Structures are given as structure tokens and as C-alpha cells.
Amino acid sequence: MSVGLEIAEPAPSAVGTSNGNGSARGDVARVIKRGIDLLRRPELNNSIALTETCLTCGGLLTQGECLRCLVKLGFLSDSQQPDKVENGRRLTPGPLKYDHFEVEVGADGFPTELGSGAMAITYRARDTVLNSVVALKVIDRKVAQNPGARSRFLREARVAAQIRHPNVARVTHYGEQDGECFYVMELVEGETLEARIRRNGPMPLALALEVIEQAARALAAAEACGVVHRDIKPSNIMLESDASGALVVK
């Protein structure tokens, strides 16, 4: 039984059931004294001392994180946030470089975006050391200033890097630069399930079942590593083909 449950113990007698006012006052005095004695216990003082608050909003922290700030920043409500491609676009054209990863630039002179959400932008980039094309996910400086958001982003990258499965894009690198946090993952050459359905309409039953089966395998592999995906939707499911032309879902 945890410390503090003693407060829930019933009093010897209920206030107001006594035949005399003196006895009732005595009951109240005993209850107050008992409460004061409990407050003086070192265990309770230690638990109060360990209570932490968010430096940004003043709210209580849960396991070192401020859930209020994470929701505000979009970490806990990606599925409820509209895509912000235009808002997330860099206003200044030109190349971007994170460590030895150089973001590719499109014909319009702006960095090539693969996707954009409430808190992060994913770019198409090149590993200048290995000369390979990768996907690079970056969270905004304002978001990265929040310690809870930054630690959650790092934990997301670390956990994803542990998953080894053909239906999960591999994470290969994490870094921080000029107040921004980023990680690098395998680039999936293909299109989203949403784009396929918008172009071709409903999928044949056999193909739809194949997509569902591969996506379920990916989720099972993630769950085995302690990861629960919070934003499953067609725009987050990629379809590509392997060397033999067979469908691969990631």
C-alpha cells in the first residue's frame, strides 16, 4: 500500500453524531491533529519536493514532460492537426545543410519537402559522405526550445533506430544544429497510399488486403520494441516496389 492512503481511513466517529458539542469538537480536533501529523511525515515532504513544474507554462510535469506544451506544439495531436505545408515552407530559398546531409533544392529554388506537419518538416537530402539520398526530418527551432519536445523527438529517433523490419523505414542518424533537432532515415521512393487512392480510386480487394497485412506487420514490429504509432493514416503509409516489382509498404 502506498504512502498517503492513510488519509482515506475512516475517523473513529463521524462529526455531528455525538450527543454533546464537546465530544463533536473533540472529534474535529482529533481529525485536524491527525492531518497535521501526516503532513509532517518526511515521506510526504519528499514527494512534494520532487514535484516538478514546466519552465514554459508552469504546469506539472509527467515523467519529466509537460503534456500541455507537447499538445500545444503538436507532438500529441498530429492526427488532429491540419498539414501545414505552406506554413512550414522555408521563406528563404537556397541550400540547407545539417551536419554532412545537404537538403536538395527544387526548380523553384526552395528546399525539396517530402512532407510537413504541425511540428516538423521532412526534406529530401543527400548524404555527402556516402553519396546517397535520404529523408531528413527537422523540428522547428521554436519547438526544439521546449525540453520536453526535444527529448521526445530524440526518444522517437532512438526507438525507431532499433526497429529492423522490411516494412519500417530505418533511422540512421540523429543530430542537433543551430537550435534545431533532426534525424535521418531511409528514403522511400514511391507514393503515399492517399495519393494512390486519389489517383486510381478504390483499390482491388486483394491489393487492399496486401497493404493492410504489410502495415500490420510493421506495427507489430514497432510494438515489439515498445513503440505505439499515434498517427496511422493513408498519407503516412508509403507504397513502393522492390527490384522484382512486388509491392512494399512502409
Q: How far apart are CA 169 and CA 238, in angstroms?
A: 10
Class of domain 84-186: alpha beta
- pTM comes to 0.61
CA distance 160 to 115: 18
Task: Name 105's Cβ contacts closer than 8 Å, sequence gap at least 6.
Answer: 93, 94, 95, 111, 112
Q: What one-character DSSP code corresponds to residue 11?
A: P
Write the burial class of residue 35 (CB in 10 Å: 0-12 exposed, 13-18 middle, 19+ buried).
Answer: exposed
Beta strands in the chain (DSSP E): 96-98, 101-103, 113-116, 120-127, 132-139, 171-177, 180-186, 191-192, 238-241, 247-249
Structural contact between residues 215 and 63, judged by C-beta atoms closer than 8 angstroms: no
Please, which residues have CB within 8 angstroms of residue 76's CB and are 6 or more apart in sequence?
67, 70, 230
> Tens-of-pLDDT digits for all 250 residues of the chain?
433 332 233 334 444 444 455 555 565 556 555 655 644 555 444 443 444 666 566 666 555 556 566 555 555 444 433 333 344 445 456 678 999 999 999 888 899 998 887 788 999 999 999 999 999 999 988 888 888 888 889 988 998 899 999 999 999 999 999 889 999 999 999 999 999 999 999 999 999 999 999 999 999 999 998 888 878 899 889 999 998 999 999 9
Active site residues: 231
